[in-house]
A = this chain, B = another copy of it.
Amino acid sequence: MSLEWKGIILVSLSDGSGLGDASVNSIVAGLCTSPRGCSSVCATCRVRLYAVCSALGEDDISDLERLAAHVELSPRTSLFQAGDLARFVYTVTSGTLRLQRDLADGRRQVIGFAIPGDFIGLSLDETYRFSADALTTASLCRFDRKDFTSLSHVRQSLLERLHLAATHELTIAQDHMVVLGRRKAEERVAAFLLRWRERLGRINGRSATVSLPMSRQDMADHLGLTIETVSRTMARWMRDRIILDVPGGIRVLDQQRLSAILPD
- A101 proximal to B (CB < 8 A): yes
Report the Cα distance A2→B169, complex, angstroms.
29
Report the minimum CB–CB distance from A204 to chain B (whole Å): 22
Report the minimum CB–CB distance from A88 to chain B (whole Å): 16
Choice from B101, B104, B162, B171 contacting A174 with Cβ under 8 Å: B101
- A156 proximal to B (CB < 8 A): yes
Report the Cα distance A111→B177, complex, angstroms.
7
Closest to A222 in B: B181
**Residues of A within 8 Å of B, CB-based: how many?**
42
Residues of B within 8 A of A170 (CB): 122, 166, 169-170, 173
Contact A173–B182 (Cβ < 8 Å): no
Query: A224 with B180: in contact, given A153-B156, A171-B129, A173-B173 (CB under 8 Å)?
Result: yes
Residues of B within 8 A of A221 (CB): 181-182
Residues of B within 8 A of A122 (CB): 167, 170
Report the Cα distance A72→B147, complex, angstroms.
43
- A3 proximal to B (CB < 8 A): no
Contact with B along A21-55 (1 / 0, CB 8 A): 00000000000000000000000000000000000
Choice from B124, B163, B178, B224 contacting A181 with Cβ under 8 Å: B224
Question: How many copies altogether?
Answer: 2
Residues of B within 8 A of A124 (CB): 164, 167-168, 171
- A14 proximal to B (CB < 8 A): no
Report the Cα distance A224→B182, complex, angstroms.
6
Report the Cα distance A264→B105, complex, angstroms.
8
Residues of B within 8 A of A153 (CB): 156, 160
Residues of B within 8 A of A177 (CB): 109, 111, 173, 176-177, 180
- A103 proximal to B (CB < 8 A): yes
Query: A159 with B163: in contact, given A103-B178, A224-B181 (CB under 8 Å)?
Result: yes
List residues of A (103-136) whose CB comes within 8 Å of B's CBs.
103-105, 107-109, 111, 122-125, 129-130
Q: Contact residues of A with B, CB < 8 Å?
A: 101, 103-105, 107-109, 111, 122-125, 129-130, 153, 156, 159-160, 162-164, 166-171, 173-178, 180-182, 221-224, 263-264
A/B interface sample: 26 pairs, CB < 8 A: A103-B178, A103-B182, A103-B264, A104-B263, A105-B263, A109-B182, A125-B171, A129-B175, A130-B174, A156-B156, A156-B159, A159-B160, A159-B163, A162-B163, A163-B166, A166-B170, A169-B170, A170-B170, A170-B173, A173-B173, A176-B177, A180-B180, A180-B224, A181-B223, A182-B221, A182-B224
